[in-house]
Amino acid sequence: MGKTEERYKIAKEIYGEYGVDTDKALSQMNEIPVSIHCWQIDDLSGFENPERGLSGGIQATGSDPSKAKNKEEFVQNLTQALKMVPGKNKLALHAIYLENFGRFVDRDAITPENFSFWVDYAKENSLGLDFNPTYFSHDKADDNFTLSSYDPEIRKFWIEHGKRCRKISEYFGRELGQTSVNNHWIPDGYKDYTVDKLTHRELLAESMDQILKEKIDWRYSIDSFESKLFGLGLESYTVGSHEFYTNYAAIRNNCIVCMDMGHFHPTETVSSKISSYLVFGRQMQLHVSRPVRWDSDHVVIVDDELKEVMLEIKRQNAFDRVHIGTDYFDGSINRIAAQALGARSVKKAILYALLEPTDLLERYEENGDLVRRLVYSEEEKMLPFGLVWDQFCEMNNVPFSGWVEKILK
Ligand code: RNT
Ligand code: ZN
């Protein structure tokens, strides 16, 4: 028996005293996919026009020299990062990460062909694929209005983009035999004082109706819409707010909501919202990011809110209904290490949640034994969770420590 396994045996025994089966948690870990976004590797530059720079109220800051310079380097760096993430993974792409075969292909003209190399990549690396239309970093989005623009020509362009992205996502789902989540996020909004907050929302709903008109089998692709509180330069009004998408999805029942952990008021938590969706049997998507002051995209670490989110999903037994994906971009540190670290943090938090003695705590709660509920949930924090994590990494041939040295070498 190796050292890691020996330590794991001790952890297993201790968890066993709380009624938690660590072996079961480990096998569940191998079944719960985390969708890892590709864009940490190159600050969301993409392959369409890498020189262009970001627009749409998002920004990547920092000048660490690790940014991928071309497609080959991008794929190489991504592969290196993914190797450090144990267990079942998906890869989340954006429409700007296309193969254009040497000539410019605009957003309203992309087809599955432009993404077939990613399907090959996914098959080779045993990954699922998720997708994101790119409604930003484009001339037709520079005034910060896309699907809700007053200009019908602009709306038409972006509606076509949205429709084509659904086809690409469906293609991913069919090819890989697992659902691909197609996540729509638009920047639309105003920097300043807004008089008519209604018309843009009416236009957005109309555009969404058109995009979603064709029925696509949810076994292959599900559309999600991501809300936001505000963006840089869009501080006063966001058309696609949380309430807007929540109501749209509930009424139309043709899409789900994506909650990004960095897109809410600083004292609001995503963990406290999850059960209000699950209670109605809805699916949802999460963008796991880390808000710091105005910025919502720091590299994810295992903080209290991340644990709380995963505990919620575990307690509702809803890992099959909540699509968990990452979303952060930090250019100030090594991007490959950043990519791996954030995804590992998400997995750690999931494992932490799976190891919670939920039955025990629930029993106390049901019996009104609130002091034991509190005391034992505090004791839980001291259980040897790290030893189970190490075992999980080892089982998947991924280093549990020292991995960053390999990347920085
Ligand atoms: C932006 C949203 C969105 C993007 C990605 C690149 O605020 O979080 O999810 O980060 O689509
Ligand atoms: Zn996001």
In tens, the pLDDT along 355-390 reads 999 999 999 999 999 999 999 999 999 999 999 999
Higher pLDDT: 53 or 155? It is: 155
**pLDDT at position 202, please?**
98
Residue to substitute in 260, 261, 263, 298 for testing ligand 1 pocket (most ligand atoms within 8 angstroms of CB): 260
Assess contact for 156 and 246: CB atoms under 8 A: no
Q: What is the pTM of this model?
A: 0.97
Q: Which residue, 89, 95, 40, is CA-closest to 290?
A: 40
Q: Which residue, 168, 163, 71, 74, is CA-closest to 119?
A: 168
Is the sign of the CA dihedral 197, 201, 202, 204 positive or negative? positive
Residue having the nearest C-alpha atom to atom 3 of ligand 1: 185
**Residues 203-217, mean pLDDT to the nearest whole number:** 98
**pLDDT at position 171, please?**
99
pLDDT of 294 higher than 90: no
Residue having the nearest C-alpha atom to atom 1 of ligand 1: 58
Tens digits of residue pLDDT in 261-289: 999 999 999 999 999 999 999 999 999 99
**Residues 71-86, mean pLDDT to the nearest whole number:** 98
CA–centroid distance, 185 to ligand 1, in Å, is 6
Which residues' Cβ are closer than 6 Å to ligand 1? 39, 44, 58, 132, 185, 226, 228, 260, 287, 327
Residue 122 token pair? 């996914």
CATH 3.20.20.150 domain extents, the chain: 33-354
> Mean pLDDT for the chain?
97
User: Alpha-carbon distance 287 to 232, whole Å?
Assistant: 19
In the chain, % of residues over pLDDT 70: 100
Give CATH superfamily name and number for 33-354: Divalent-metal-dependent TIM barrel enzymes (3.20.20.150)
Return the active site residues.
Answer: 185, 226, 228, 260, 263, 287, 295, 297, 327
In the chain, % of residues over pLDDT 90: 98
**Residues 173-177, mean pLDDT to the nearest whole number:** 98
Per residue, what are the HEC states of 281-295?
Answer: CCCEEEEECEEECCE
pLDDT of 50 higher than 90: no
**pLDDT at position 375, please?**
98
